[in-house]
Structures are given as structure tokens and as C-alpha cells.
């Protein structure tokens, strides 16, 4: 899936773990990190849907469930970016916890994911929570991890997230 996406965006892709795909990931994360750093320096709140730790956790869950090597495509990028100082760590991680059955229901409503769900993603979803917590605590133990019950109403979830943002703005460079 990653190879197909990279190819659809004009990147030359040979194999699932080709250097072309790896370069794409390295560029994607570097660009997002650079932009996030600039915005943070301007005092703005930056919200990103994925980061290295989440990509590694999801990739490892995918690898365990289906022997898909996507995990090994993310990890070298993480090491390189950490080594050269371009890795931007977030102020916090949010894990929106919902039952796997609810996650499947929500994803099944998204047409592009239906085939993926039939090919093993249910097991990936079952493993993700465990791997997310492990990767976050190993790779970035200094970054707080907030687990949010996403089965609540949207208003309740939003209220909880805004409350955490309020806590973070008092502890860091964030401005409310």
C-alpha cells in the first residue's frame, strides 16, 4: 500500500522496502518536522495525526499480524532523523481508545479501507494499543501519553482534549 501510494505521487518504487520508498518517508517526516518546529517557534499549537513513534508502533503491529515489512521502512528514518537532530518531539501523545469493533465499523464506512480490513487489519488494530504504549515509552519516555476514552460523545472527547491542552500550555512553551 505504501509503495503504491509513493508510486502514485511520482516516486520510483522497486520493492516494498526500496530506497525510493525509504527516501520518501525520510523526506515526509523531515518536512513535517521542520514545519512543526517553525510553527512551534512562532508559539503556535501544532497537532499532527502521525509521528515517528506512532508510525513505528503501527508498522510493528502490521508486521506481527501479517509479516509486512513496513516497520523496517520507518525505523531507519527515525534513527537518521534522531541522529542529525531533525526529530521534533511532540509535547504530548493522545491515544483515542475505542473497542476494535467500533474502529472496524468506523473504518468500514471509509470506502478506501474496506479491502485492507479484509486482509488482516483487525488483528493489527488489536495489537496497536500495546505497541503504541511500548514504542512511546521506549522511544520518547519524556513525552506524556494521554489515553482518551473515544467512546464518549464528541463534545466530551473534545472537552478532555482541550483540558489537556490547557495543562500543557501551563507546563511548556504553548500559548492558549
CB 78 within 8 A of CB 138: no
CB-CB contact of 176 with 166 (8 Å): yes
First-last CA distance in the chain: 38
Phi first, then psi, for residue 59 (nearest 5°) are: -60, -40
pLDDT tens digits, one per residue of 38-97: 777 887 766 666 666 677 777 777 777 766 655 556 666 666 666 666 666 777 888 888
The fold of 2-171 is Rossmann fold (3.40.50)
**In a 10 Å sphere around its CB, with 0-12 CB exposed, 13-18 middle and 19+ buried, how is residue 97 labelled?**
middle
The pLDDT tens digits of the residues spanning 7-41 come to 565 544 444 433 344 444 455 555 666 777 777 78
Please give the helix or strand (H or E) that residue 149 lies within, else none. Answer: strand 145-149
Q: Is the pTM of this model over 0.85?
A: no
Amino acid at each position: 500500500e505504501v509503495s503504491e501510494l509513493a508510486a502514485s505521487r511520482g516516486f520510483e518504487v522497486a520493492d516494498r522496502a526500496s530506497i525510493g520508498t525509504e527516501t520518501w518517508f525520510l523526506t515526509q517526516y523531515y518536512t513535517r518536522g521542520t514545519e512543526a518546529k517553525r510553527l512551534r517557534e512562532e508559539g503556535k499549537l501544532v497537532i499532527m495525526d502521525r509521528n515517528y513513534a506512532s508510525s513505528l508502533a503501527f508498522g510493528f503491529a502490521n508486521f506481527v499480524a501479517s509479516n509486512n515489512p513496513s516497520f523496517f521502512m520507518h525505523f531507519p528514518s527515525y534513527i537518521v532523523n534522531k541522529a542529525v537532530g531533525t526529530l521534533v518531539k511532540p509535547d504530548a501523545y493522545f491515544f483515542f481508545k475505542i473497542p476494535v469493533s467500533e474502529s472496524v465499523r468506523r473504518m468500514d464506512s471509509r470506502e478506501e479501507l474496506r479491502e485492507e480490513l479484509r486482509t488482516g487489519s483487525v488483528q493489527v488494530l488489536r495489537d496497536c494499543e500495546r505497541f503504541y504504549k511500548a514504542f512511546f515509552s521506549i522511544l520518547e519516555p519524556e513525552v506524556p501519553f494521554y489515553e482518551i476514552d473515544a467512546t464518549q460523545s464528541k463534545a466530551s472527547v473534545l472537552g478532555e482534549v482541550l483540558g489537556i491542552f490547557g495543562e500543557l500550555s501551563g507546563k511548556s512553551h504553548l500559548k492558549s
